[in-house]
């Protein structure tokens, strides 16, 4: 008869208890920090069968199978799944095995002892069990060995990744401090030690191909050394205890936090405070995998890779170094590429936005001058008050501030409107007030509201049904923050594509080679990827850049960044141009006046807006005279 308890389990039990208590307290704190409305939402989503099903699906695909990493980097997907999923399976199968064959099965024990034994028994099962010869015991033993092998293979890849990141398709990996290194080493050693411990007494506890044949028979030569074995079991337990105790202070906290994040996200919650509630769940969910480092435009300059999302989140989590947090918050271009690749979909930009909102500005904006504006034509010097009247025209065209520095875009648009025989009104021909997005990006959300309200009022009064925008920055804020019920908001790429598809305009096709740059605020923010490509397909040949669509590199001009210097921006721009011109296009096409201006300064080839190339290739219908 094997013993049912041994002192070596104590470190593990202590570590495990600590982790459980820590997580429960953390969970309660997060729930408590949520705004009341969010808490209610969360509660409802847990009982709603529809969202519960989604929760279950997401938990399986993200926490267990890591579908997102598999999609981006299959090798890393395997590495991660083999360890996480393998471990999960060992715990599950281990529990079933314990239930089936536990030496405690028929024993009457006091409640507390029963509880703790349930905690340690499945983990150290081979120590307490006796080899059984039934078929099911063999199947269990085989499965346990199989998953142990899977985990060890994953650890091998992890070691390679750490030493030679390029072998697994990464340029840079996150750098860690002492605690993180300790946790990682303890994690890496858990399973090899478990294998040794189990193998060392496989003749008593049983085992399968890995522990018994490879381990006991080959490695230990078929001899059972009681002292060595006992030491190995102690080592295994202590190793687990180290891992468990340090887990809350390390990146491995993402294991429990991720599950909570999925539930909160599915309840429709968003970050409102940079260090409270939902944001905490996100911050603790960051596994510091560093996938965001290589994609971040800032990483192109070597010293700047520490401005990337993973380091930002780490700074926030540690709660110190306020200056670092501020710098990382304000230098970010807000292009959103890091979120695209994040296996956990952590919305670090929301945290940055929340953080920007926190910064205090002593001088408050004063937009009282907006009150005397009646329409976009009214300027300070020449007040000619004829309220904007577009009731007769169905379409409003709002070019935006930046487009006034790129007259080719606005002229191309007016020509396209004319050729399509559209009834339109160019509302900000003589300038306008800002759309509010740049102000929002500085964190001054309430102040941006004043601009938004004024624009809303003027656009609504016009009675138009459609609003065409040339600037993706405007487009985003109009879509997200404006309440323009009954007015369809389109970026000119979408609008021109529609005109071509409905054959309201026609364009000539040539062999000219173009490459398309996806502006962040149009592409990643709204997924407008196909419309511009469709337009270019009608005009010439579309070549591929190094990366496009959701992985397109920011042009470097983004007004999302507040603190970035001109030199840092130039480096990003040059790199982005290099990526775009990979396949030797003749012209770079984009759909944003800011991207256009930024690229035009440093590009060796011509940079044009999509409206320009459409206008250049328009089949002119002579019957339509020039109006306006």
Binding site for other proteins (CB under 8 A): 330, 359-367, 369-370, 373, 378-381, 401-402, 404-408, 411, 431-436, 438-439, 441-442, 444, 451, 557, 559, 562-566, 594, 597, 600-602, 628
| Shortest distance, position 445 Cβ to other proteins, whole Å | 12
| Shortest distance, position 585 Cβ to other proteins, whole Å | 19
**Integer Cα distance of 46 and 27 in angstroms:** 15
| Non-local CB neighbours of 203 within 8 Å, separated by 6+ positions | 131, 212, 216, 222, 224
- The answer to whether 427 touches 404, Cβ cutoff 8 Å, is no
DSSP 65: S
| Shortest distance, position 507 Cβ to other proteins, whole Å | 20
Tokens, residue 604: 């060796």
| Shortest distance, position 339 Cβ to other proteins, whole Å | 23
Query: 211 or 403: whose CB is closer to other proteins?
Result: 403
| Shortest distance, position 407 Cβ to other proteins, whole Å | 6
Query: 50 or 362: whose CB is closer to other proteins?
Result: 362
Q: With b meaning 16 or more CB within 10 Å and e meaning fewer, what string describes 25-55?
A: ebeeebbebbeeebbebbeebeeeeebeebb
Query: 231 or 602: whose CB is closer to other proteins?
Result: 602
| Shortest distance, position 480 Cβ to other proteins, whole Å | 17
| Shortest distance, position 192 Cβ to other proteins, whole Å | 52
Query: 82 or 455: whose CB is closer to other proteins?
Result: 455
Please state the φ and ψ torsions of residue 352, each to the nearest 5 degrees: -65, -40
Find the distance separating the first CA and the last CA of the chain, reported in whole Å. Answer: 98
Query: 373 or 467: whose CB is closer to other proteins?
Result: 373
Write down the residue that tokens 């930024």 correspond to.
598
User: In Å, what is the CA distance from 320 to each residue of 304, 353, 395, 430?
Assistant: 20, 19, 52, 48
Query: 354 or 401: whose CB is closer to other proteins?
Result: 401
- The answer to whether 283 touches 323, Cβ cutoff 8 Å, is no
Query: 200 or 598: whose CB is closer to other proteins?
Result: 598
| Non-local CB neighbours of 366 within 8 Å, separated by 6+ positions | none
Write down the residue that tokens 């102000």 correspond to.
439
| Shortest distance, position 489 Cβ to other proteins, whole Å | 19
Write down the residue that tokens 């079991």 correspond to.
233
| Non-local CB neighbours of 487 within 8 Å, separated by 6+ positions | 459, 460, 464, 465, 466, 467
| Shortest distance, position 241 Cβ to other proteins, whole Å | 48
| Shortest distance, position 471 Cβ to other proteins, whole Å | 10
Q: Is 464 helix (H, G, I), strand (E, B) or coil?
A: coil
| Shortest distance, position 556 Cβ to other proteins, whole Å | 12
| Shortest distance, position 365 Cβ to other proteins, whole Å | 5
Query: 176 or 367: whose CB is closer to other proteins?
Result: 367
Contacts of 74-77 with CB under 8 Å at 24 or more apart are 75/157, 75/168, 75/169, 76/161, 76/168, 76/169, 76/170, 76/289, 76/291
Burial class (CB in 10 A: 0-12, 13-18, 19+), 167: exposed
| Shortest distance, position 438 Cβ to other proteins, whole Å | 5
Query: 305 or 426: whose CB is closer to other proteins?
Result: 426
Query: 148 or 450: whose CB is closer to other proteins?
Result: 450
Query: 57 or 601: whose CB is closer to other proteins?
Result: 601
Query: 117 or 378: whose CB is closer to other proteins?
Result: 378
| Shortest distance, position 308 Cβ to other proteins, whole Å | 20
**Integer Cα distance of 274 and 116 in angstroms:** 38
Q: Is 607 helix (H, G, I), strand (E, B) or coil?
A: strand
CB atoms within 10 A of CB 323: 9
What is the enclosing helix (H) or strand (E) of 68?
A: helix 67-72
DSSP assignments along 348-410, one per residue: HHHHHHHHHHHS--SSPP--GGGGG--STT--SS---------SS-SEEEE--TGGGG-HHHH
**Integer Cα distance of 194 and 125 in angstroms:** 11
Query: 302 or 566: whose CB is closer to other proteins?
Result: 566
Query: 257 or 402: whose CB is closer to other proteins?
Result: 402
Sign of the C-alpha dihedral, residues 348, 350, 352, 358? Answer: negative
**Integer Cα distance of 66 and 477 in angstroms:** 33
């Amino acid at each position: 008869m094997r013993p049912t308890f041994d002192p070596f389990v104590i470190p593990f039990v202590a570590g495990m208890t600590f982790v459980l208590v820590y997580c429960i307290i953390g969970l309660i704190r997060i729930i408590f920090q949520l705004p009341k409305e969010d808490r209610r939402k969360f509660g409802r989503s847990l009982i709603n069968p529809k969202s519960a099903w989604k929760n279950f699906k997401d938990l399986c695909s993200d926490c267990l199978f890591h579908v997102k990493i598999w999609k981006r980097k299959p090798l890393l997907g395997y590495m991660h799944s083999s360890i996480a999923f393998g471990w999960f399976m060992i715990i599950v199968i281990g529990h079933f095995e314990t239930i089936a064959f536990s030496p405690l099965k028929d024993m009457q024990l006091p409640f507390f002892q029963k509880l703790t034994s349930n905690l340690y028994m499945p983990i150290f099962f081979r120590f307490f069990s006796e080899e059984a010869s039934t078929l099911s015991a063999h199947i269990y033993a085989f499965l346990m060995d199989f998953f142990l092998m899977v985990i060890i293979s994953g650890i091998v890849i992890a070691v390679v990744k750490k030493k030679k990141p390029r072998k697994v398709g990464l340029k840079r990996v996150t750098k860690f401090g002492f605690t993180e290194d300790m946790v990682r080493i303890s994690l890496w050693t858990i399973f090899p030690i478990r294998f040794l411990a189990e193998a060392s007494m496989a003749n008593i506890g049983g085992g399968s191909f890995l522990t018994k044949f490879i381990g006991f028979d080959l490695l230990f030569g078929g001899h059972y050394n009681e002292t060595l074995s006992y030491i190995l079991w102690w080592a295994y337990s202590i190793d687990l205890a180290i891992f468990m105790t340090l887990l809350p202070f390390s990146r491995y906290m993402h294991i429990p936090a991720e599950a909570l994040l999925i539930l909160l996200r599915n309840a429709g919650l968003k970050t409102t405070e940079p260090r409270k509630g939902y944001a905490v769940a996100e911050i603790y969910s960051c596994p510091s995998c560093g996938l965001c480092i290589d994609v971040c435009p800032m990483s192109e300059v070597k010293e700047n890779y520490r401005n990337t999302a993973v380091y930002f989140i780490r700074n926030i989590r540690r709660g110190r170094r306020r200056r670092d947090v501020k710098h990382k918050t304000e230098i970010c271009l807000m292009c959103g590429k890091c979120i695209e690749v994040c296996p956990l979909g952590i919305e670090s930009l929301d945290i940055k936005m929340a953080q920007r909102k926190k910064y205090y500005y002593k001088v408050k904006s004063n937009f009282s001058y907006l009150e005397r504006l009646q329409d976009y034509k009214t300027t300070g010097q020449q007040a000619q008050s004829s309220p904007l009247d577009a009731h007769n025209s169905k379409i409003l065209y709002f070019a935006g501030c930046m487009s006034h520095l790129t007259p080719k875009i606005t002229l191309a648009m007016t020509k396209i409107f004319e050729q399509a025989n559209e009834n339109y009104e160019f509302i900000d021909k003589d300038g306008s007030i800002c759309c509010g997005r740049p102000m929002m990006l500085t964190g001054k959300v309430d102040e941006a509201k004043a601009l938004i309200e004024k624009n809303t009022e003027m656009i609504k009064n016009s009675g138009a049904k459609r609003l065409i925008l040339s600037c993706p920055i405007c487009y985003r804020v109009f879509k997200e923050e404006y309440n323009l019920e009954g007015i369809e908001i389109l970026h000119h790429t979408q609008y021109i594509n529609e005109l071509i598809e409905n054959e309201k305009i026609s364009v000539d096709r040539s062999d000219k080679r173009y490459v398309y740059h996806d502006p962040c605020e149009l592409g990643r923010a709204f997924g407008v990827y196909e419309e511009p490509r469709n337009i270019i397909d009608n005009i010439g040949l579309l070549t591929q850049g190094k990366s496009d669509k959701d992985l397109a590199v920011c042009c470097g001009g983004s007004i999302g960044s507040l603190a970035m210097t001109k030199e840092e921006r130039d480096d990003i721009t040059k790199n982005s141009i290099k990526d775009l011109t990979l396949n030797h296009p003749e012209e770079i096409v984009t759909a944003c006046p800011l991207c256009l201006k930024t690229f035009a300064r440093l590009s060796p080839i011509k940079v044009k807006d999509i409206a320009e190339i459409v206008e250049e290739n328009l089949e002119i219908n002579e019957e339509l005279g020039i109006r306006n």
